């Protein structure tokens, strides 16, 4: 193995190609079991994933490798990644593995490693495992495990815990539209909310192994938004494939992203006296309007790097209970360890039902600043602070924005792109500022091929994902 295994969120690739080929997956399971056995004589690993047609096969490869190296496993079948993380703690497991490519389309799949404490493995732990795989001769590939028997009791534990997070009949009479993305929420989300009294319309909940995230779910929130209006619902919720995120739509059909949900949730937790310190964690991409809106309630916003692992790490380091991303990864550490779309949906529905007011009115205090995102393709990632024209343009833009906007300039972690994000009082001015910075990037990289890869101006109503 000479290529990288782990990316920004575990392993992700087309099924059957490196690193989601049988030898690599099996070797990973063997080495994982060896690491776990250093602190657990017979480590237990929770194993499950989303409903892609390749998930059962990958789980069989993992089970075979774990067994060959002396580890035990419990297979929970199709279950959200946050459910698998929750079960790791509940079952006192040494680790858990979620087989999923999250919001990616078929035929991609992936592997997410979770510790026995329910938190995702750190990048450092993944790097150590990767290094051991590089240094260790590949093991003999054991025969793939036969069809794995699903432990439905483990799944029931997770669903019962979710239901208990809302008062009995706490959603009585609330009309909700759920878009399950033909993913792991299918067959789970609708019964869960109905059991709490909600009137549920469920769409895209018929997975066939290949239609996950296909024109639906959190990557296409306009679909649930239209269905929410069509059915006269109080809110709509769109999940992604492995249900670690959720996006809302209000009764008017406006899409409400993670920033809007953080605003609503943070104010409720603050009113309940459970937001101590009075702060939340959001990424550098969260809208400035979130800071301004929460400041009125005495709630600070602590910024961190993009990524749900960075959010959780910052929360734990600062002792902050609530945080999340625009993409809908929200975490309440008093309840769970990772983004849980089902938990988020329940909490948002509970707040709307308890208030007896439309969601749009509950969010009236959150005014989003116009935001522009632009990606500029670059041939190399020279430190931005060492590019003189870029540094000068950056200073000029920040001076013009003053306290009425924000500039975030960074490289993509996975693609050859410089990312420009500007928020300001109006779209015309932030367009001109982005042009100035893009021109500076091109000038500093003169003689190399650069081109504008993508341009998107996010309206104040729609917001942006991470």
List the catalytic residues: 102
In contact, 289 and 464? CB cutoff 8 Å: no
267: part of which helix (H) or strand (E)?
helix 258-271
Write the DSSP assignment of 330-399 as a string of letters: EEETTT-SS--HHHHHHHHHHHHHHHTS-HHHHTTT--PPPEEEEEEE-SS---GGG-HHHHHHHHHHHH
**Cβ atoms of 24 and 18 closer than 8 Å:** yes
Number of C-alpha atoms within 13 angstroms, CB side, residue 62?
29
Contact 181, 245 (CB under 8 A): no
What CA–CA distances, in Å, run from 96 to 12, 193, 238, 242, 338? 17, 26, 25, 14, 13
Beta partners for 12? 110
d(CA 267, CA 275): 9
85-to-55, 222, 274, 375, 415 alpha-carbon distances in Å: 17, 29, 24, 34, 29
């Amino acid at each position: 193995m000479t290529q990288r295994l782990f990316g920004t969120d575990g392993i992700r690739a087309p099924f059957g190609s490196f690193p989601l080929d049988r030898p690599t997956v099996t070797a990973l399971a063997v080495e994982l079991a060896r690491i776990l056995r250093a602190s657990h004589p017979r480590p237990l690993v929770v194993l499950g994933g989303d409903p892609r047609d390749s998930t059962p096969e990958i789980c069989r490869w993992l089970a075979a490798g774990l067994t060959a190296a002396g580890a035990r496993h419990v297979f929970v079948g199709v279950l959200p990644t946050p459910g698998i993380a929750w079960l790791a703690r509940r079952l006192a497991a040494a680790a858990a593995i979620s087989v999923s490519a999250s919001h990616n389309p078929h035929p991609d799949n992936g592997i997410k490693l979770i510790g026995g404490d329910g938190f995702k493995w750190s990048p450092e732990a993944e790097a150590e495992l990767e290094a051991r795989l590089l240094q260790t001769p590949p093991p003999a590939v054991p025969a793939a495990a036969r069809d794995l028997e699903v432990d439905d009791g483990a799944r029931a534990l997770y669903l019962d815990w979710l239901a208990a997070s809302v008062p009995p009949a706490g959603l009585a009479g609330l009309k909700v539209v759920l878009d399950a993305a033909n993913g792991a929420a299918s067959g789970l989300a609708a019964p869960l909310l109905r059991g709490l009294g909600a009137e549920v319309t469920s769409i895209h909940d018929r997975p066939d192994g290949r239609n996950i995230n296909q024109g639906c779910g959190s990557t296409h929130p306009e679909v649930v938004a239209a269905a929410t209006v069509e059915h006269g619902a109080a809110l709509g919720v769109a999940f992604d494939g492995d249900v670690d995120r959720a996006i809302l739509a209000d009764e008017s059909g406006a899409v409400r992203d993670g920033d809007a949900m953080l605003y609503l949730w943070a104010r409720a937790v603050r009113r309940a006296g459970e937001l101590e310190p009075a702060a939340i964690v959001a990424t550098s991409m969260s809208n400035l309007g979130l800071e301004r809106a929460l400041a009125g309630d005495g709630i600070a916003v602590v910024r961190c790097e993009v990524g749900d692992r960075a959010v959780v790490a910052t929360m734990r380091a600062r002792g902050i209970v609530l945080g999340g991303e625009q993409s809908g990864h929200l975490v309440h550490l008093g309840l769970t360890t990772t983004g849980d779309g089902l938990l988020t949906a329940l909490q948002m529905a509970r707040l709307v039902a308890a208030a007896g007011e439309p969601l749009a009115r509950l969010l009236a205090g959150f005014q989003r600043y116009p935001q522009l995102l632009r990606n500029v393709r670059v041939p190399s990632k020279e430190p931005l602070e060492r590019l003189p024209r870029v540094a000068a343009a950056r200073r000029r833009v920040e001076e013009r924005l003053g306290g009425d906007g924000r500039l975030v300039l960074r490289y993509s972690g996975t693609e050859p792109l410089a990312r420009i994000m500007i928020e300001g009082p109006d779209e015309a001015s932030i367009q001109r500022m982005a042009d100035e910075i893009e021109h500076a990037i091109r000038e500093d990289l003169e003689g190399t091929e650069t081109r504008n890869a993508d341009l998107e101006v996010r309206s104040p109503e729609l917001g942006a994902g991470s």
